[in-house]
């Protein structure tokens, strides 16, 4: 019942000028209030295939990393040490010389030392003569083996629990630290075992040798700082690194000294030559001293350097004082960014536009970065109104109120990402610029290039507010034998359906709030007009809805033994189901559930059933923008990108949607090494893709197939009768809250329906008057 499309979207929800930044509602560390200097990026591509970007290490003036390649000489894959000089840009690549050859072991963990040496843990494969085990190896930067030590006895001290290596690090002397779940094994420069230590021993008094993976204190990381001190972080099992303890390691004394008790292990650290650490938190880079964390100093934000912090895999400072960062690119390869500190006057100057985002700004960082790097005239600054990770006492409702206030003030952003916002309410306030003239004059697109139903859905009183990159759809499915698909699907017909089937549930497990939300989701406009401000919650029509909702239980207890929803629908126990559609495959299981009489009736309104359309990556130009042409340039650029929604949703550009449909319905077969269709043991071609299955606890199951054209066309037919989807971010949430609060007394028999409707009318009218 509850809408989840936005949650799905957010889960999916992947130049030489200092440009593009992000303002947020709260900062975990000191914000960058002003800058006397900027860090200007230079972007370099990293050549090669099969590169382990996650394991790259920046050491003084060299980037070190591993890759693998097929060797014709040995007819096997070789691991290679690769180097890239950050000074003269020269490269090197050297195969590892394993003690027993490349076929007999697999690397499980590794790290690079400051001199570029590779330290690795390898698990050996069993043979007739040799049992499986673990080797500790050190390789010269040119790939030659320096030493190999058998460490099986230490790592597998307790064979029953096995071993899991979580981290590996070396100090400036070349001593080696290997962290398991609850212990750290110590080895000297030659790989000789020197002992073991454990944070659990400090807390429990149990010797480190007695610790195992079931210990309650788990190690979350190993760190070497710029002063060549070694640390480990640890915390209670199940806390996910929030508020871990950081302790300094005394190698010789096999001891730990607690340094701080609220160490942010969710962040990334690298040694700082003058301080303890450089730290990045996906938004900014700071100097960080664990002995004085409150003195952390912000150096720059990633977005100021045209870098999304979400893409940073590793970073460090070079001997020249530049910051080097390894980035994950959109195609899942990598690139290297070299950041040089300059004065503001040295940076390329561009016209700045502000893009307002209610929440989830990180979803839009990649698009903003691509635009800022490629456009020579404009740069985009992200302004996020609500940050889920750090909002303190600032609520989502507070953020929404601030956004609405900004739209009619001098703080108005130039662009607004509108996913989930109540566009009906906002459009009535004339806060958006009509995009139609820009689209008609565009040299890239014309109105005819877009799906007309999508443009129509986002046109309010003649104003085209936004053009989504893609959309999700949501509808309600029922049985045509119980619902007349030709009749208007109104709240009155919902009541009639329930009356005709008194022994069935309207929705599986629905309570009063669920039913009221279903009726008001898109039926609210029958009782409130945002253009005129008129409300009618004291009408007979609304009173009848209150009487109907009263029939349902206040709460519904979850019953784990209850049959699955598909089973209950097929047995006639449940009448309706919400259906979320984000690709051409997603309708299959619901069509199977309802069978040949399945009908998409949508959400009830006074005019008839409507299907919900959720825009994704959808931008509007505000009326208060001082640079509307620049804002359109950004929108046009975003709409021009291929793959801008990561393959999710239904594209608004006609040709993309047609390509998406044809790809979805095309049956694809497995091919053999000759490129011919592979046949199974029965001589049938083997289909690939779209063969996943779902099975419920009661045995009901479904196996997906390649989408049919009929299924795809059914989904597309919903576009013509869709309306914009509003989520928890809209005014309807407040109106429904008022209804829920005031109706409780009526449901409990403490007030009459007339009294209840009168109070609701009064409160909602006041709310509408204050927010028009």
The Cα 616–Cα 386 span in angstroms is: 18
Q: What is the pLDDT of residue 161?
A: 63
Say yes or no to pLDDT of 650 above 90.
Answer: yes
Three-class DSSP category at 535:
strand
User: What is the band of 1 on the pLDDT scale with cuts at 50, 70, 90?
Assistant: low
Count Cα neighbours of 701 within 13 Å in the Cβ-side half-sphere.
8
Residue pLDDT, tens place only, 294-346: 888 899 999 999 999 999 999 999 888 899 999 988 777 789 999 999 888 77
Contact indicator for 330, 336 with CB cutoff of 8 Å? no
Say yes or no to pLDDT of 484 above 90.
Answer: no
User: What is the band of 621 on the pLDDT scale with cuts at 50, 70, 90?
Assistant: very high
User: What is the band of 391 on the pLDDT scale with cuts at 50, 70, 90?
Assistant: low
Question: Average pLDDT of 7-24?
Answer: 39
Say yes or no to pLDDT of 149 above 80.
Answer: yes
The Cα 578–Cα 602 span in angstroms is: 8
Q: What is the pLDDT of residue 158?
A: 66
Residue scoring higher pLDDT (648 or 509)? 509
DSSP percent split of the chain into helix, strand, coil, nearest 5: 25, 30, 45
Residue pLDDT, tens place only, 541-563: 999 999 999 999 999 998 889 99
Sequence ranges of the domains in the chain: 351-471+616-658, 473-612+714-771
Q: Tell me which residue of 374, 376, 372, 381 sits closest to 353, measured CA to CA.
A: 381
The Cα 147–Cα 189 span in angstroms is: 10
Say yes or no to pLDDT of 225 above 70.
Answer: yes
User: What is the band of 390 on the pLDDT scale with cuts at 50, 70, 90?
Assistant: low
* pLDDT above 70: percentage of residues in the chain: 90
Residues 6+ apart with CB under 8 A from 34: none
Among the ranges 95-109, 445-459, 515-529, 734-748, which has the highest mean pLDDT value? 445-459
Q: What is the pLDDT of residue 306?
A: 94
Q: Tell me the CATH number for domain 473-612+714-771.
A: 3.40.190
**Mean pLDDT for all residues in the chain:** 87
Q: What is the pLDDT of residue 4?
A: 43
Contact indicator for 311, 329 with CB cutoff of 8 Å? yes
DSSP letters spanning 209-250: GG--TT-SEEEEEEEE-TTS-EEEEEEETTSTTTTEEEEEEE
H helix and E strand count, the chain: 18, 39
Contact indicator for 757, 541 with CB cutoff of 8 Å? no
Residue pLDDT, tens place only, 67-96: 988 888 878 888 999 999 998 889 999 999
Q: What is the pLDDT of residue 513?
A: 92
Please determine whether the domains at 351-471+616-658 and 473-612+714-771 fall in the same fold group of CATH: yes
Please report which residue ranges of 76-180 form alpha helices under DSSP H: 152-155
CATH class of the region 351-471+616-658: alpha beta
Question: Average pLDDT of 7-13?
Answer: 39
């Amino acid at each position: 019942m509850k809408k989840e499309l936005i949650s799905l979207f957010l889960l999916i929800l992947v130049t030489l000028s200092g440009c593009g930044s992000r303002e947020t509602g709260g900062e975990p560390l000191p914000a960058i209030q002003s800058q006397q200097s900027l860090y200007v990026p230079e972007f370099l591509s990293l050549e090669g295939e099969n590169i382990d970007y996650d394991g790259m290490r920046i050491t003084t003036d060299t980037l070190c990393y591993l890759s693998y390649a097929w060797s014709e000489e040995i007819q096997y894959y070789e691991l290679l040490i690769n180097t890239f000089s950050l000074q003269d840009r020269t490269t090197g690549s050297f195969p590892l010389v394993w003690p027993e050859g490349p076929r007999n072991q697999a690397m499980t963990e590794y790290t690079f030392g400051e001199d570029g040496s590779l330290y690795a843990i390898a698990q050996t494969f069993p043979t007739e003569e040799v049992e499986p085990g673990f080797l500790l190896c050190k390789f010269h930067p040119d790939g030659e083996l320096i030493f190999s030590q058998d460490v099986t006895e230490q790592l597998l001290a307790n064979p029953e629990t096995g071993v899991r290596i979580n981290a590996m690090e070396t100090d400036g002397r070349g001593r080696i630290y290997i962290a398991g779940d609850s212990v750290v094994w110590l080895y000297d420069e030659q790989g000789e075992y020197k002992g073991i230590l454990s944070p659990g021993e400090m807390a429990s008094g149990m010797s480190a040798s007695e610790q195992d993976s079931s210990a309650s204190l788990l190690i979350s990381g190993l760190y070497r700082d710029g002063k060549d001190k070694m640390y480990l972080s640890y915390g209670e099992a199940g806390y996910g690194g929030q508020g871990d303890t950081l302790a300094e390691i005394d190698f010789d004394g096999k001891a730990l000294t607690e340094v701080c008790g609220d160490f942010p292990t969710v962040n990334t650290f690298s040694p700082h030559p003058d301080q303890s650490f450089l730290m990045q938190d996906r938004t900014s880079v700071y100097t960080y001293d664990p002995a004085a964390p409150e003195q952390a100093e912000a150096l720059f934000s990633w977005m100021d350097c045209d870098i999304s912090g979400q893409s940073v895999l590793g970073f460090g400072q070079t001997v020249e004082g530049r910051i080097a960062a390894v980035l994950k690119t959109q195609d899942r390869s990598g690139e290297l960014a070299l950041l040089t500190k300059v004065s503001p006057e040295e940076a390329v100057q561009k016209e700045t536009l502000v893009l307002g985002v209610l929440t989830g700004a990180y979803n839009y960082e990649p698009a903003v970065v691509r635009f800022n790097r490629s456009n020579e005239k404009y740069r985009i600054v992200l302004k996020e109104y609500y940050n889920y990770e750090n909002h303190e006492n600032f609520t989502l409702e507070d953020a929404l109120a601030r956004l609405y206030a900004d739209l009619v003030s001098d703080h108005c952003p130039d662009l607004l990402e509108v996913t989930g916002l109540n566009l009906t309410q906002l459009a009535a306030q004339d806060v958006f610029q009509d995009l139609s003239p820009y689209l008609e004059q565009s040299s890239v697109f014309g109105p005819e290039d877009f799906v007309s139903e999508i443009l129509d859905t986002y046109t309010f009183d003649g104003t085209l507010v936004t053009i989504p990159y893609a959309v999700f759809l949501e509808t309600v499915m029922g049985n045509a034998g119980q619902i007349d698909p030709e009749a208007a699907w109104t709240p009155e017909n919902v009541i009639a359906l329930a009356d005709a089937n008194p022994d069935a549930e309207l929705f599986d497990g629905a309570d009063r709030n669920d039913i009221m939300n279903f009726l008001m989701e898109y039926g609210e406009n029958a009782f409130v007009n945002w253009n005129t401000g008129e409300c009618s919650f004291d009408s007979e029509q609304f009173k009848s809805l209150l009487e109907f909702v009263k029939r349902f239980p206040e709460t519904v207890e979850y019953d784990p033994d209850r049959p699955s929803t598909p089973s209950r629908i097929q047995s006639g126990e449940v009448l309706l189901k919400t259906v979320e559609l984000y690709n051409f495959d997603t309708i299959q299981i619901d069509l199977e559930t309802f069978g040949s009489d399945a009908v998409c009736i949508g959400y009830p309104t006074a005019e008839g059933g409507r299907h919900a359309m959720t825009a994704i990556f959808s931008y509007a130009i505000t009326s208060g923008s001082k640079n509307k042409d620049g804002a359109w340039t950004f929108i046009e650029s975003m709409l021009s990108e291929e793959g801008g929604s990561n393959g999710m949703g239904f594209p608004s550009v006609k040709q993309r949607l047609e390509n998406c449909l044809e790809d979805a319905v095309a049956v694809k077969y497995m091919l053999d090494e000759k490129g011919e269709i592979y046949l199974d043991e029965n001589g049938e071609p083997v289909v690939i893709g779209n063969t996943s299955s779902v099975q419920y606890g009661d045995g009901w199951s479904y196996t997906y197939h390649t989408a049919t054209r009929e299924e795809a066309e059914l989904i597309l037919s919903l576009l013509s009768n869709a309306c914009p989807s509003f989520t928890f971010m809209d005014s309807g949430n407040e109106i429904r809250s008022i209804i829920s609060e005031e109706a409780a007394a009526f449901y409990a028999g403490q007030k009459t329906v007339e009294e209840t409707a009168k109070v609701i009318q009064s409160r909602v009218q006041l709310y509408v008057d204050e927010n028009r």
